[in-house]
């Protein structure tokens, strides 16, 4: 899967860029631009005080390959009878497949565990109002040569497929 960002604007223009070229996506995937609370989030637990939890369904291709479309699949956890009631009212209008909860969360640790704070996050944030953003990204969110090679290889493979 190639991470990307897409915006459709009211004036009918669109912005679409893959993660390696979009500056925000690069800092987001390196966990540099998250709020401080995200590194110790008290809400990242399987048993939440919510009726419904919606997350990215990482690993869907292993657990429910028929739901995999390489565009993103959501994982919906019904946390309460109220959440189940809400879902029951809309489920005829959406495509869904019930899967084993334990299996579904195995590949989705980010939904249930806080991410580690990057060692250079404080320096990144100290400079965010001083250094132009593109220079900050080049300094703190570099893409390694290995990852660049992997990305190019995947693109070539997809085109040949």
Q: What is the C-alpha to C-alpha distance for residues 149 and 136, in angstroms, rounded to an integer? A: 23
Residue with tokens 């540099």: 32
pLDDT above 70 for 148: yes
For residue 21, name the pLDDT band (cuts at 50, 70, 90).
Answer: confident
The per-residue pLDDT for 29 is 86
Distance (Å) of CA 49 to CA 46, 79, 147 = 10, 8, 38
For residue 2, name the pLDDT band (cuts at 50, 70, 90).
Answer: low
Q: Are residues 46 and 109 in the same domain?
A: yes
Both structure tokens of 148? 């660049």
Contacts for 105 with CB less than 8 Å, ≥ 6 apart: 46, 111, 112
For residue 147, name the pLDDT band (cuts at 50, 70, 90).
Answer: confident
Domain count, the chain: 2
Domain finish residue from 82, 97, 113: 113
What number is the average pLDDT over the span 79-90?
Answer: 95
Q: Are residues 106 and 124 in the same domain?
A: no
pLDDT above 90 for 145: no
Q: How far apart are the first and last CA of the chain?
A: 14
**Full domain range(s) for residue 19:** 1-36+116-161
Classify residue 111 by burial, with Cβ atoms within 10 Å: 0-12, 13-18, 19+.
Answer: buried
Q: Are residues 107 and 129 in the same domain?
A: no
What number is the average pLDDT over the span 46-59?
Answer: 86
Tell me the sheet residues that pair with 14. Answer: 8
Q: What is the C-alpha to C-alpha distance for residues 152 and 120, in angstroms, rounded to an integer? A: 27
Strands in the chain per DSSP E:
4-8, 14-18, 52-56, 74-78
Q: Are residues 13 and 48 in the same domain?
A: no
pLDDT above 80 for 52: yes
Q: Are residues 108 and 132 in the same domain?
A: no
Both structure tokens of 106? 């195995």
Both structure tokens of 18? 């893959």
């Amino acid at each position: 899967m190639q991470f990307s960002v897409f915006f459709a604007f009211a004036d009918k223009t669109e912005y679409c860029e893959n993660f390696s070229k979009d500056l925000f996506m690069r800092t987001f995937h390196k966990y540099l631009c998250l709020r401080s609370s995200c590194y110790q989030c008290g809400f990242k637990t399987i048993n939440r005080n919510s009726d419904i939890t919606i997350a990215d369904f990482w690993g869907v291709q292993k657990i429910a390959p028929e739901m995999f479309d390489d565009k993103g699949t959501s994982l919906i956890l019904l946390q309460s009878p109220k959440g189940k009631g809400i879902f029951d009212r809309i489920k005829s209008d959406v495509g869904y497949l019930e899967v084993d909860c334990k299996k579904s969360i195995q590949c989705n640790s980010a939904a249930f565990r806080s991410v580690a704070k990057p060692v250079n996050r404080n320096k990144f944030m100290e400079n965010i109002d001083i250094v132009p953003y593109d220079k900050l990204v080049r300094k703190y969110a570099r893409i390694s040569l290995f990852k660049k090679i992997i990305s190019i290889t995947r693109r070539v493979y997809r085109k040949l497929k």
